[in-house]
Amino acid sequence: MPTIRIVDVTNRDGEQTARIVLSKLQKTITNILLDEMGVFGSELGFPLSPHERDYINANVELTHTENDDGEPVIQRLRLEGWSRALASDVEYAMTHTDLTHLNLSISTSRQMLEWKFQGKFSQDDIINMMTDAVRAALEGGCTSVGINAEDASRTDMQFLKDFGLAGKEAGAEILRYCDTLGYDDPFTIAERMGRLASEVGMALETHCHNDLGLAVANSVAGAVATCEAGQDAYINTTVNGVGERAGNADLVSCVLALKHSSGLSEKGYLDPRIDTTKAYRLARYVANAFDLPIPINQVGVGANAFAHESGIHADGALKDRHNYELYAFEDLGRGHDELTKTGREILTGQHGGTSGLEYVYSHMDLAFRDREHAQEILTLVQYANLANQHPLTEEELRFIYHHPEIARRLLTLTP
């Protein structure tokens, strides 16, 4: 049966949002938490950017680096790079990173060809550049390749079909349908992606922006139509819906729609690996890293997602939560108390010393072998605090303790 898998793009499309930035350590922890949630893939960054290389290669290394339990730090998450669909860019990316999956992007709409490319390229040129890039990726060591039709929602259907068929023949496995401006609606995207899946015969991926507030609905509609046509589907998401302009399709919203909406809950298309009990921890971590508070009405993870004040609603929820809740807060990994210290608090950061460091780590049941070990971790913690411009979280502190050499690579930025 066709399956809908999640490919999260928080670390690429989300992180290129204006006014926000993540450190390489924060991007790495986000990948680890996405992996724990059972997300299929993470588009983790730009292999052509020199400052991304150490981070990308360190994350690939984490797919082979064992935790204390003998399992890889990143167990199942497919790490995907984004590149322009140019053979020269692809060859550069394959030379400098250890990625084995690339998403190759090029504009396809008449608007983009005429006004972005200024008429320099014909539709045939676009297809030739894309197929050359696909072949370069496969010859360079990629085991799988996706092709991205930027502005697909404003692209002529016949050209989209020709684009997909040419990419498929060259060896691409996935065609990404980019609703770059949030132009589609659930009806148009379902019709167009259903036709593409049937006529091109390859897996399709939605990449929807939220300019009209339809990113989640469009993503789900397009993915379901793809499955109904007999092909696997992928949905690009970001944590908490962060993204350029009005944002991207929210990860939790897409997952919950596929699990609980009236017409989809029994179809069973959603990847069974998804573990929604990890969602709240992921959402909180990314919100802290981006310094963007979760909106109180955010689906599933917002402060008001399970709050009831109205007497009728409160009475109904207390009698049976199904009266006013489609899903349980426990399903999102919620229900625990969150405590804030009001007395003495010892922190460790760029100005910290070994005494404070030992105190903080002792509360995580972690100790140091000797003073040299403590000093090594202290130095990494100091630099990580500088990189994040935030107090370090428990996830970050544990990662530095257990994987100091990889942490050192993530903190190394050389212009």
Average pLDDT for runs of 10 along the chain of length 415: 97 94 97 98 97 97 93 97 98 97 98 96 98 98 98 98 98 98 98 98 98 98 98 98 97 98 94 98 98 97 92 82 91 91 87 94 96 97 96 97 97 88
Closest CA to 31 of 69, 53, 59, 12: 59
Contacts of 335 (CB under 8 A, 6+ apart): 329
The pLDDT of residue 339: 81
Contacts of 370 (CB under 8 A, 6+ apart): none
Distance CA 8, CA 206 (A): 11
The pLDDT of residue 316: 83
The pLDDT of residue 153: 98
The pLDDT of residue 69: 87
For residue range 9-37, what is the model confidence (pLDDT) as tens digits? 999 999 999 998 999 999 999 999 999 99
The pLDDT of residue 170: 98
The pLDDT of residue 323: 86
Angle at 128 between CA 123 and CA 132, to 5 degrees: 155
Q: Is 339 exposed, middle or buried (0-12, 13-18, 19+ CB in 10 A)?
A: exposed
Q: How far is CA 113 from the centre of its chain?
A: 28
Matching residue, tokens 């020269």: 88
